[in-house]
Amino acid sequence: MTTTIPTDIPTVAATGTAASALRGTRRRRNVRSAAVTCALAVAVVALLVLTMMVGSFRIGAGEVVASVLHLRDNPSVDFVVRGLRLPTAASALTVGLALGASGTIFQQLLRNPLASPDFVGITSGAGLAAATGIVLLQGGGLVVSGMALGGALLAGLLMYLLAWRDGVTGYRFILIGIGASVFFDGLIGFVLSRAQLFEARQAMHWLTGSVGQASTAELRLLAGALLVLLPAAVLLQRPLRALELGDDAARTLGIRPDLSRAGLLGTAIVLVALAVSVAGPIAFVALVAGPIANRLLGPATGGILPAALVGSALLLTADLVAVHLLPTPLPTGVVTGAVGAPYLLWLLATANRQGVGG
């Protein structure tokens, strides 16, 4: 009698080995992602405390923590920490989270490292609305912030509608955004040319960007929005990864490309609009936060929460440098611009060498 040996045993063994290797790779990626996220969170908390320690009146780390958490009653320390330094530190923290998350969503969704809110017209739209409010309406505080928020949202909606043609592609969205940004910048120059000297200086200070100009109401609005939008962005990370593979692959995985893309873009636009309304158009943080986070994450690239934490760390560090390490205190946007411009040149040069720079 002839014994038949199943021919599919090697195939089954190979499939099991591949599945085991895949699970091991996924486990290592998850472990690295969790470790990097925790390390970044610790670094952000340390920078937050350091921001409230330094100044003309030095305060110890323990006193800062006790004052913020209301563990001790020390009127002089509480006045300096809660009244003077905490609003600026909280502004840098929340604005950095919003810029980092929105920047990496744009870059992954549009599949271009230059796809940042800085360059696709959204921050320029906010700047135009804010400059108009300052110069023509003599507004300030919540009026300017509200107009900046509305300007950013309208600019984002305009970009989406102009880029829509049986769907939104990254290349078309970026080109239209760059053109709109140039147009808005020209209108900003026109508005400033009609301003009085005091109004022009006030508008230019806002357009430079600084984390120290937010009111309590603006900070509460941004913090409340982050509590909703940041978890929503993290939940949308699965559709975002699917869209990176292309629309056909996303449909195969059960993702609706147009709806998911609209939700992701909407979330990113609202995040950056709120950040700009609080601190002005701080340049380059949204551009560099995602790539730095990806370098730290290694094979576990694309994490929205790590990119948001990198954005906070960058902005807290930039504020420390701008206020305490330079001969004259400067707006935070000056430091981020000085650091971000060389990075942009390097990014353009390397992209061109790799043949993806256009």
pLDDT attached to residue 353 = 54
Higher pLDDT, 117 or 354: 117
On whether the CB atoms of residues 209 and 336 are closer than 8 A, the answer is: yes
Q: How confident is the model at residue 148 (pLDDT cuts 50, 70, 90)?
A: confident
Task: Judge contact between 191 and 128, C-beta under 8 A.
Answer: yes
- For residue 123, pLDDT over 50 is answered with yes
182-207 pLDDT tens trace: 888 888 888 888 878 888 888 888 88
Find all residues with CB under 8 Å of 15, minimum gap 6, and list them. none
Q: Which of 295, 276, 280, 287 is nearest to 342 (CA)?
A: 287
**Per-residue pLDDT tens over the stretch 284-314:** 888 888 888 888 887 767 788 899 999 999 9
Amino acid occupying residue 124: S
Q: What is the pLDDT at residue 24?
A: 64
pLDDT: which is higher, 285 or 119? 285
* pLDDT above 90 for 43: yes
Q: Is 266 part of a structural domain of the chain?
A: yes
Determine the Cα–Cα distance for residues 191 and 261; give it in Å rounded to an integer: 34
Residue 115 corresponds to which amino acid? A
Q: Is residue 177 part of a domain?
A: yes
Q: Are 232 and 99 in contact (CB under 8 A)?
A: no
The verdict on residue 340 lying in a domain is no
**Residue 248 placed within a domain:** yes
CATH number of the domain at 155, please.
1.10.3470.10
- pLDDT recorded at residue 303: 81
Mean predicted confidence (pLDDT) in 263-270: 84
Return mean pLDDT, the chain: 80
Indicate the range of 81-95, 165-179, 207-221 predicted with least confidence: 165-179
Quote the pLDDT of residue 48.
Answer: 92
Which of the pair, 244 or 321, is modelled with greater confidence? 321
Residue 312, pLDDT score: 93
CA dihedral (19, 21, 26, 32) in degrees, to 10, reads 170
The residue ranking higher by pLDDT, 239 or 270, is: 270
Domain boundary among 216, 246, 277: 277
What does DSSP assign to residue 189?
A: H
Least confidently predicted of 133-142, 201-210, 242-251: 242-251
Q: Read out DSSP for 11-66? A: HHHHHHHHHHHHHHHHHHHHHHHHHHHHHHHHHHHHHHHHHHH-SSS---HHHHHH
pLDDT score of 197: 81
Structural contact between residues 85 and 52, judged by C-beta atoms closer than 8 angstroms: yes
The yes-or-no verdict on residue 354 having pLDDT over 60 is no
User: In this structure, what DSSP letter does residue 322 have?
Assistant: I
Indicate whether 270 and 124 sit together in one domain.
yes
Q: Please tell me whether residues 62 and 204 are part of one structural domain.
A: no
Enclosing domain of residue 300:
39-86+284-326
351 pLDDT band, cuts 50/70/90, is low
Angstrom distance (rounded) from CA 53 to CA 61: 6
Model confidence at 220, pLDDT cuts 50, 70, 90, reads confident
Same domain, 206 and 138: yes
pLDDT for the residue 97: 92
Q: Which residue matches tokens 């970044």?
A: 40
What pLDDT is recorded for position 8? 52
pLDDT of 10 reads: 57
How far, in Å, CA of 106 to CA of 102, rounded?
6
Q: How far apart are CA 189 and CA 111, in angstroms?
A: 31
Indicate whether 358 belongs to any domain. Answer: no
- Same domain for 164 and 311, yes or no, is no
Write the DSSP symbol of residue 327: S
Pair (156, 197) in one structural domain: yes
Residues 270 and 297 occupy one common structural domain: no
Has residue 307 been placed in a domain?
yes
| Cα 150 to Cα 148: distance, rounded to the nearest angstrom | 5
Buried/exposed 315-347: b ≥16 CB within 10 Å, e otherwise: bbbbbbbbbeeeeeeebbbbbbbebbeeebeeb
**CB of 81 closer than 8 Å to CB of 48:** no
pLDDT in the model for residue 1: 47
pLDDT of residue 44: 93
Residues 123 and 255 in one domain: yes
Total structural domains in the chain? 2
Using 50, 70 and 90 to split pLDDT, how confident is the model at 357? very low
Rounded CA separation 265/115 (Å): 12
Shared domain for 158 and 252, answered yes or no, is: yes
Q: Are residues 190 and 258 in the same domain?
A: yes
C-alpha 357/C-alpha 112 separation (Å) is 9
Residue 172's H or E segment, with its range, is: helix 170-193
Alpha carbon distance 11, 4 (integer Å)? 16
